[in-house]
Amino acid sequence: MTPDRIHPRRGTRAPDRPAPDPDAPDLTVVICAYTVERWDDLSAAVASVHAQRRPPEELLLVVDHCPELLRLAREHLTGLRILANRQRRGLSGARNTALAEARGTLVAFLDDDAAADPDWTEHLLAGYRDPAVLGVGGLVRPWWRTGRPDWFPPEFDWVVGCSYRGLPVRPAPVRNFIGANMSFRRAEALAAGGFRTDLGRVGRRPLGCEETDLCIRLTARHPGTVLRYEPAAAVRHRVPAARTAFRYFAARCWAEGCSKAAVVRYDGAAAGLASERAYLRHTVPAALLRSLRRRRPATAAALCAGVALTAGGYLTGAVRARAARIARAPRSAPRRPGAVGTTSGPAAAPDLPGGTP
């Protein structure tokens, strides 16, 4: 594949751009990419960052173990720094490479198939005026290339990596961000250990939750701090036709459940399932009633299937994790006949969610 177009370097500020704030922290925008198949999307993502009214101090592209894409990017993209992923293959490793190499005090992540609104960086940076804010994330609007399927519930837009009905509509603290549109104080993200490389997407494998895990660890390290959701900091996320099929919906729900089981294993059920409980108690029941009132049985069925599949993935992940722990545990010494004592029973099963955003 060859690039359709070459984006010129944008080294001068357009006349309508505001003067830079000398007190604002430096910002590095990071795009991670792994395949030449998304070249047009990647080019659009880079162009959207160049077009910001408040341009970042640095734009960093990290290529995840794809020599052909690395060559194309270095030949045809300008106005940015291009690096190869220096860690384990996968999105987490690429993001950790960016955290280690970024020059900005703040690091914002934009997906390679997303395009930022022109005021995206302005709204992200505004959130950091409060020193208690460790990160700012924004709205991810779905861009359905072939139209939203009639049966696809907005409450499950997280399946395609987008903001879903049930998230705050005004700025508010949240537990975690959506990976396509998030930012952090770089020093704090590094101090927390960055993204776990045994979580998250590798190529097309639809696992995730590495963002959730990092967000939980960040706020746990610093009680009294917050992660701020700012809907005005918006991006558009491409949803291709392949992601509108029910088989993708089902696979993604199952994978999310498996990923959530890993988060609970690392961070505990209290933090790992806090948002999911509210989602199940309020968002999903309201959506189900709405779909029934509007006589949309296909949407109601998708809601129920999504909850069941995610719960099934979670249970499978939890059982596998428990089996792995048992296999790794040292065998107990045999008890002597007549010895006094009790044997411990099986570990308590983790709290099972019926669904997860």
Q: How confident is the model at residue 209 (pLDDT cuts 50, 70, 90)?
A: confident
The pLDDT of residue 354 is 34
pLDDT > 80? residue 6: no
If we measure between CA atoms, which residue out of 236, 255, 99, 242 comes closest to residue 178? 236
pLDDT > 50? residue 353: no
Domain boundaries, the chain: 27-244
Highest mean pLDDT among 17-31, 265-279, 303-317: 303-317
Asked if 353 and 299 touch (Cβ cutoff 8 Å), the reply is: no
The pLDDT of residue 204 is 57
pLDDT > 70? residue 36: yes
Q: How confident is the model at residue 3 (pLDDT cuts 50, 70, 90)?
A: very low
Interior/surface letters 139-150, b for 16+ CB within 10 angstroms, e for the rest: bbbbbbeeeebe
pLDDT in tens, 258-287: 888 888 887 777 666 777 888 898 999 999
If we measure between CA atoms, which residue out of 190, 6, 184 comes closest to residue 80? 6
Q: How confident is the model at residue 23 (pLDDT cuts 50, 70, 90)?
A: low
The pLDDT of residue 277 is 84
Structure-derived torsion over alpha carbons of residues 189, 173, 56, 187, reported in degrees to the nearest 10: -20
pLDDT > 60? residue 84: yes
pLDDT > 90? residue 241: yes
Q: Which of 41-55, 289-303, 326-340 has the lowest mean pLDDT?
A: 326-340
Q: What's the whole-number mean pLDDT along residues 237-247? A: 96
The pLDDT of residue 320 is 79
Which DSSP category does 347 fall into? Answer: P
Strand partners, 7: 77
pLDDT in tens, 105-131: 999 999 999 999 999 999 999 999 999
Long-range contacts, 70-76 (Cβ 8 Å, 24+): 72/1, 72/2, 72/3, 72/36, 72/39, 73/33, 73/42, 76/3, 76/6, 76/7
Rounded CA-CA distance 291/151 in Å is: 10
The pLDDT of residue 275 is 79
Work out whether the CA dihedral 246, 251, 254, 257 comes out positive or negative. Answer: negative
Q: Which fold has domain 27-244?
A: Spore Coat Polysaccharide Biosynthesis Protein SpsA; Chain A (3.90.550)
pLDDT > 60? residue 317: yes
Average pLDDT, the chain: 85
Q: How confident is the model at residue 206 (pLDDT cuts 50, 70, 90)?
A: low
The pLDDT of residue 235 is 98
The pLDDT of residue 240 is 96
pLDDT > 50? residue 348: no
Residue type, 102: A
pLDDT > 60? residue 33: yes
Structure-token pair, residue 195: 């993204």
Q: What's the whole-number mean pLDDT along residues 165-178? A: 94
More confident residue, 272 or 355: 272
